[in-house]
Structure formats: C-alpha cells, structure tokens
Amino acid sequence: MTARRIVLLAALCLLAYGFWISPDFKEIAAGVALFLFGMMCLEDGFKSFTGGTLEALLRHSTNRLWKSIVFGISSTTLMQSSTLVSLITISFVSAEMITLAAGIGIIMGANLGTTSGAWLIAGLGLRVDIAAYAMPMLVFGVVLLLQKSQTLKGIGYVCLGAGFLFLGIHYMKEGFEAFQGRFDLAAYAVSGLPGVLLFTVIGMLITVVMQSSHATLLIIITALSTGQVSYENALALAIGANLGSAITTALGGMTSNLGGKRLAVAHVLFNVMTASVAIALIEQMMWAVDALSGLLGIGADNLLLKLALFHTLFNLLGVLLLMPFVKQLETLLLRYLKGLPSPAEQPRYLNPQTLGTAATAVGAVKKEVARLYDNAYGLLAHGLSLRRAVITSDQSLAEAVKNTRRIMPLDLDDVYETKIKSLHSDIIAYISEAQGMALPEHIANELYTLRQASQDIVDAVKGMKHLHKNLARYGLSSNLAVRERYDAIRLQLAKLLREIEQLRLQERDEVTSLSLDALKLTLQKATRTDVSAIDEMIRTRRISPHIATSLMNDEGYAQWIGENLIDAAQGLLLSDSRTEQVAAASLSLSEQEINEIAGTPASIPSHLADKH
C-alpha cells in the first residue's frame, strides 16, 4: 500500500471517529465538505471560459509588472480561487507563453486577491442568512447544467459552486455554535511568539490537507466568531493559510517543466517572506489594524473584519516589499535553478500542467512541434551533406554544394526512430489527451492543424530516407551530368530550408499564406525544370535510362520533402487569429492555381502519392 493511500485511510478513520464521538463535528465537517465542493464547482465553471477570454487577458496583461499584479488580484477576486489562478499561471509559464517575471507578478496579485474571500465571509457570510440564497443558486445551477451549451453549463457550475459555498458557510457556522456548548477550544489558546508559531503551523497544515486557503479562512473566521479561537491565534492561523496555499501550488508545479518549477519556487519564496515579515512584525501589524479600523469605521470589538483587514495588510506588505526585486528574483531563479536539458527525443513542453487550459495546451503542442521541426531540420541538412550552420548563414549554398567532397554517412533509420518518431508519438498522445477536454471548435481545429504539421515533418524525413540512399550512391558520381542533377536536388532543398528558417525568424503576424505560396510555386517550377533537364539528358545519351529512372524517383522524393516542409511551416507559422486565418485563406493560392502557374509538376513516386 502506498504512503498516499495510508494517509487517506488514516484520515477517513479519524473522520469516522470524530463523527462517532460528536454529532456537532458532523455539521462542521459537512460545512467544510460543501464549501470545498463549491470551490471545485466554481473552478470547473471558470475553466469552461478559459478557452478564450481568460487566456487573452492573461497574455495581454503581462507586459508590465503592475498589470500582472492587477490581473492576479482581479482574476482571484472574481474566481475566489488563488490556487486555480496560480496553476493556470504555472501552465502559461511552462508553455513559455508569458515570462517568469510576469508569472511572479500574477502570483503576488493572486495572494492579495485571495484576501477578498476573508472580507466576504467576515462581512456577509456570518451576518446574513446566507443559506436562504443557496437553494435558488443550486436550482438555477442544475437547470443550466442540463443545457447543451458549454457556456450555459459553465454558468451552471458557477451557480452550483456559489450555492454550495453558501451552504458550507451556513453549516460551519451552525456546527461551531453547537460545538461551543460542548467543548471550548479557546482553552487551548497559546499567547506570545510560541502561540504565533504554533498556530501558523496549524493553519499551514489545514490548508495543505484541504488544498484551499479559502476553506481554511472559513474555519478560522467561523471559529473566531464563536469564540473557539483567540484573536491573536486567528491571525497566526491566517498567516499559516497563506503558507499552505504556496505549498499546494508548489506540489502542482512540481509536475511541470523547468519554467513551472521556477514559478512554484518563486511562489514559496514570496509566501515564506510574507509570512516571516508578518510574524516578526505581528505586534506592529495589530496596532496598524486597530488604527485603520478606526478610520474605516470598523468597531473595536468586530474581530472578524479586523482579521480580514490583517489578512489584506500583511499580503499587501509582502507585495510592496517584493515588487522592486522581481527582476532580480527572476534572474536568480534562471541562473541557479537549472535542469538537465531535455534530450532531442524527449518532450520539453508536454507536461500535465500545460493541459490546464486550452490555450496552454495549444501553446505547448506548437512549441513541441517546432522542436520536432528543429530535429528534422538538422537531420535533413545532414542528409544533404551540408552543415546546419551553412544553411542558416549567408554563405553561398551553390558554392557549398559544388565544393562537397564527400557525402556524409547517415544512419537515417536509427536517427528517425530516436529523434523523430518517438517525439512525434508523444505529440500525438498529448493531442489525443487534450482533445478529451471540452475544447472550443477553433482550438480543436488548431490542434488538428498542429498534428498534421507534425505528420508532415515525419513524412519529410521519410522522404529523405529514400533520397539519401541514391544520393550516397550517385551524389559524387564521376558522370558530370549525374553529379549536376543531384547537386541541383541538394541545392533546391537547401534553399527551401534556408527560406523557411528566415520565415521562422520573422514575427508571426508578418508571415502570410502568400509567403508560403511563393515557396510552393518556386518548388513546382524547379521540379518541372529538373524533369525537362532529365528528359534532355536521356535524349542526348548523357545518362543511361537506368540512372534516369533513379533520378526521376529522387526528383519526386525531393518534391515530396519540399511540399511536406512547406505544409509543416504553414501549420507552425501562420497566425493563430481566426480572423487573420480567414483573411489569409482568401488570399492564398489553391493547389490548382499553383500548378497552373508552374506548369505540370513531376510525378510523385506511387507509394507516396496517397497524400496528394
């Protein structure tokens, strides 16, 4: 039996014992369970909207630190889940869709935004008959969940979540009031620094167990309202809840890649710093709370709102202290927190965290397909007996091809299996898992496009496997005519690789379908010219029919490689915007138009013709 199962069994036995010895404990536990279930429903509801608006806001709200902090505050206040916001942010950093510094800013804002929950619970939750509002929310939620629309279902989950949150608060309040008459937890209060440290640890443990700082705050505020915990100990519990939320996020971040791990470490460092300052200055913080309470009209005996104010103040203090040093923290994490570089055949971005939202799933797949293209690029350059650095440089490719003195040996079967096929398989498996999520249509289409781009890259490498066999045999032929034809094939593909690399260096919105159509047209024209040249060499008996057949097959393989590379580039480089995609599609040339401009292309080898 694993350690996790042992802990679960022990927790269930402890709960069962608590239910047996105290009927009031049942009510408290039921309140916590309903509250946590409400949080889960809220998260599910808001996740249904993460296919567009949330990601778009996140991407456009991170170019300044203050924007990142404001986004963290507003999104956490809206969703009442700093854990959800933190995990979504980790997924964006993991997919390299936002910078580490921007992620740190969002985490800081989320910590501040989560204090809104304490204000809501302290200000309304325990002062209003909140259960009266729960029933209508549950009814509306169930009705909306029965609808087919994903948007309506998302709203239904939000309504259900709010309803269960309200019920949870109600049962927690009732349970602690009944519990007070039977057992006085306040008798175990500990004063001074030992009490602060002890209850900070308790608050942290409760949050780690329940995976929700909001639930911990609910327990703290409810216990404080019934006198089951002293005011000073309640403050310490609130500090511990903050620490526990960082540990919860860190546990989730550990399954992500290096970027996600760095952000998880930053979250822990920030919360530890904030908690340390709050503990060290707790007397001064309590004085500041009393002073501000008077200015805000909060009564001296209103401990619940004073607790909420304290929670906000020490989180705000943490944000103000770290803000000037975010860049330095980012630099330190990048410099000292390093992992082993991912082998070329192992995925770098396809981790569970990037499946958190549709946008990060697409971003992760796009980056992984780009890595697959890089693997194939090196392999194809090697297959042409050219160094990758030569193709990416400004050096004359014609001279490099002409001056080739040997055809590089290459075990394409082995390299294909290790660097291409295994990574392609991981991409396909990840896309299949992502498609199991409820994805918007445009996201599903984009994943399909990326899967096809990955397949195009694999097909280009397969074409090189066939081409390289004859290239190794005839590439340096003593027959000058044969050597020239193979040099022409190598030069044609090398130029295409260089042009695609140049397009990859451009901004995404600068690459258009017309750019890729120009490459297709050049490829078609070159193929037609090459076929005419082979025909002329056969007529003048410069090459034998046997070698001519091999050449024509290899011309077909070269065209196959080129077309697959261009198709892969199209899937990787064209804009994600649906509006821009529609506009690009209206401007791009059809295959028939390209063929008409270029003339009739060469025949593709029959075993490859199924794609066409």
**DSSP secondary structure letter of residue 606:** G
329 and 361 share one domain: no
**DSSP secondary structure letter of residue 542:** S
Q: Does residue 340 form part of some domain?
A: no
Q: Sign (positive/negative) of CA torsion 294, 299, 304, 305?
A: negative
pLDDT of residue 611: 44
Contact in structure between 176 and 226 (CB atoms under 8 Å): yes
Query: Where does the pLDDT of residue 341 fall: very low under 50, low under 70, confident under 90, or very high at 90 and above?
Result: low
- Please tell me the total number of residues recorded for the chain in this structure: 612
- Letter string b/e over residues 520-534, b meaning 16 or more CB atoms within 10 A of that residue's CB: bbbbbebbbebbebb
The torsion angle over the Cα atoms of residues 309, 311, 317 and 318, rounded to 10 degrees, is -170
Q: Does residue 600 form part of some domain?
A: yes
250 and 286 share one domain: yes
585 and 472 share one domain: yes
Contact in structure between 243 and 200 (CB atoms under 8 Å): yes
Contact in structure between 222 and 172 (CB atoms under 8 Å): yes
36 and 149 share one domain: yes
Note the Cα 250 to chain centre separation in Å.
15
Pick the last residue of a domain from 273, 307, 335: 335
DSSP assignments along 217-245, one per residue: HHHHHHHHHTTSS-HHHHHHHHHHHHHHH
pTM of the predicted protein model: 0.69
Q: Of 241, 230, 228, 231, which is closest to residue 200 (Cα–Cα)?
A: 241
CA distance 137 to 122: 21
Q: Tokens 């990859």 belong to which residue? A: 504
- Letter string b/e over residues 128-152, b meaning 16 or more CB atoms within 10 A of that residue's CB: eebbebbeebbebbeebbeeeeeee
Q: Of 374, 368, 560, 551, which is closest to residue 462 (Cα–Cα)?
A: 560
Q: Does residue 321 form part of some domain?
A: yes
Characterise 447 by phi-psi region: left (phi > 0), alpha (psi -120 to 50), beta (else). alpha
Contact in structure between 219 and 258 (CB atoms under 8 Å): no
pLDDT of residue 4: 63
410 and 325 share one domain: no
87 and 155 share one domain: yes
Enumerate residues 6+ apart whose C-beta is below 8 A from 522.
Answer: 496
305 and 394 share one domain: no
Q: Does residue 450 form part of some domain?
A: yes
pLDDT of residue 578: 43
145 and 285 share one domain: yes
pLDDT of residue 581: 45
pLDDT of residue 407: 81
Taking 80 as the threshold, does the pLDDT of residue 438 lie above it?
Answer: no
Q: Does residue 530 form part of some domain?
A: yes
* pLDDT tens figures, 80-128: 677 677 777 877 887 777 888 999 999 999 888 888 877 877 776 555 5
Query: Where does the pLDDT of residue 404 fall: very low under 50, low under 70, confident under 90, or very high at 90 and above?
Result: confident
Taking 50 as the threshold, does the pLDDT of residue 586 lie above it?
Answer: no
* pLDDT tens figures, 117-170: 778 777 765 555 666 777 888 888 889 888 887 778 888 887 887 788 777 767
C-alpha distances (whole Å) from 330 to each of 104, 326, 387 are 8, 6, 36
461 and 564 share one domain: yes
Instruction: Considering only the C-alpha atoms of the chain, give the largest distance between any 2 of them, rounded to a whole number of Å.
Output: 109
pLDDT of residue 141: 87
Taking 50 as the threshold, does the pLDDT of residue 424 lie above it?
Answer: yes
Domain range for 250 is 21-181+190-335
C-alpha distances (whole Å) from 423 to each of 133, 156, 345, 591 are 52, 39, 5, 30
492 and 364 share one domain: yes
311 and 369 share one domain: no
CA distance 113 to 107: 10
Neighbours of 218 (CB within 10 A): 27
Averaged confidence pLDDT in the chain: 79
245 and 375 share one domain: no
Q: Does residue 486 form part of some domain?
A: yes
* pLDDT tens figures, 316-332: 999 999 999 999 999 99
Pick the last residue of a domain from 278, 307, 335: 335
Q: Does residue 559 form part of some domain?
A: yes
pLDDT of residue 50: 53
- Domain count for the chain: 2
Q: Does residue 515 form part of some domain?
A: yes
pLDDT of residue 603: 44
